[in-house]
Amino acid sequence: MRNVLTYFLLLSFTSLCLSGCENESEKAFRSDLPGRWRVNDFTTSGTETTLNNDGTFSERAVTTTVTNNDLEITFTDNPASYYSEGTYTVNYVYTANEVTSSVSVEASGIGQGSWTFDDGQMEMISHQNAEVYQLDEITINEDGTIDASGTYELRRISDDQPKTAELTVSFQLSPL
């Protein structure tokens, strides 16, 4: 019985240490993230779904690239929040029913919200548009830039035609 209790305590202690310990790259990311960052590159691709006025849904593939970019994001750590400023052009390419169209739209900022970082994944949740960025591949480069990729989800129900989008997103940040 004593061996079982010892084994259980040792197992519990090991589990607690492994789950409560961050690796060095996670600590570095957490300490380096707060501050102002320039968004160097931002692309998305995936599917957008729209609820039509007749109650049916339409889907279309969408890819975006950003040009004319002076977008900046500021991260704070207490509380863990972010806000953005700056303007950019979003170049959309849509494909539905084998027809491709494109449009460019001037935009400013990507909103503000909160962020979390846990188990090597960062999540940014916008307070404006029910937008969630789930970043599961994050690399801190030797030059101080950060490459991040993951998914982007949009759930917009406030306008006349509710939309959802599930996209793959990637971007690069450089410190200011």
Spatial contact of 60 and 94, defined as CB atoms under 8 Å apart: yes
Q: For position 160, what pLDDT does the model report?
A: 59
Q: How confident is the model at residue 14 (pLDDT cuts 50, 70, 90)?
A: very low
126 vs 119: CA distance, rounded Å? 21
136 vs 115: CA distance, rounded Å? 13
42, 35, 31, 32: which is closest to 110 by C-alpha?
42
Q: State mean pLDDT over 14-20.
A: 40
- pTM for this predicted structure: 0.74
What number of CA atoms fall less than 13 Å from residue 132's CA on the CB side? 11
Answer positive or negative: Cα dihedral of 77, 136, 65, 147.
Answer: positive
Give residue-wise pLDDT tens across range 21-62: 556 767 777 788 899 999 988 899 988 888 878 888 888 999
Give residue-wise pLDDT tens across range 74-125: 999 989 999 999 999 999 999 988 899 999 999 988 888 999 888 888 888 8
